[in-house]
Amino acid sequence: MLLKIEGLLSAADATRIREIATKAAYTDGRATAGDAVRDVKNNLQATGQDQILEEARKMITLALLKNDLFTQWVLPRRVLPAMFNRYDTGMEYGGHVDNAIMGGGEPMRADVSITVFLNDPGEYDGGELVINSDGEANRVKLPIGGAVVYSSTTIHRVMPVTRGSRHAAVIWAQSFVREEARREILLELSQAAKWARSVSSGAHEAMKLSKVRANLMRMWAEL
């Protein structure tokens, strides 16, 4: 399953974040690539320790944690600070799977990957994010401020940029619930309970659904 969140950031906030990121030092993305993907990674990324990026990272993290769809599906236990990348004309990132463990000195399991689009799709050609999910190759290119959330277990790639530059932020999260299928069940129960409450405030059915969801969380959550 993949989740598209259009308007995660306003256009103004996305532009502000991109402007902050462009002030940072950019280096060859292959410098942080493992042996398995170094030959297929061709992009630029902002220096991870650059303090100028702090404001931009906080803006993205706050937007994610305030978004109901994100929190209900991901059930985030920990969210890493955003990494900013840029693909100029001719750059791409071939098929790869994200690392299972991330976070440097404070390692975490990467369950979910998030890409936030930081410029208007009319500013560049190509650059689609292609995610192999549910047996399909899903091509994603969202308006400025949009985000796509997908399992870190999937093979995905960034298609070659043929005009302009593509700006994005990439974030990884660890969920309280490791298995994606279980997270989908919990999301559907949340949505069903919300619907039942909308039909009849205080409905017994809504309470039962909420109870089932809470008890499944007790069974599945990793603390």
Q: What is the CATH number of the domain that holds 168?
A: 2.60.120.620
Q: Are 102 and 110 in contact (CB under 8 A)?
A: yes
Residues 35, 141 within the same domain? yes
Q: Do 94 and 122 share a domain, yes or no?
A: yes
pLDDT tens track for 181-200? 999 999 999 999 989 888 87
Instruction: Looking at the structure, tell me whether residues 83 and 169 fall in a common domain.
Output: yes
Instruction: Determine the pLDDT at residue 50.
Output: 66
State whether 70 and 125 are in the same domain.
yes
Does one domain contain both 122 and 213? no
The count of structural domains within the chain is 2
| Distance (Å) of CA 170 to CA 39, 108, 152, 165, 220 | 20, 16, 12, 16, 27
Give which of 71, 48, 60 is closest to 14, Cα–Cα.
Answer: 60
- Do residues 187 and 89 both lie within one domain? no
* Range of the structural domain that residue 17 is part of: 2-175
Q: How many CB atoms lie within 10 A of CB 208?
A: 12
Residue-wise pLDDT tens digits, 149-188: 999 999 999 999 999 999 999 999 999 999 999 999 999 9
| pLDDT score for 174 | 98
Q: Which positions of the chain have pLDDT values less than 50?
A: none
Residue 49 confidence (pLDDT): 61
Judge if 162 and 189 occupy the same domain: no
Residue 213 shares a structural domain with residue 164: no
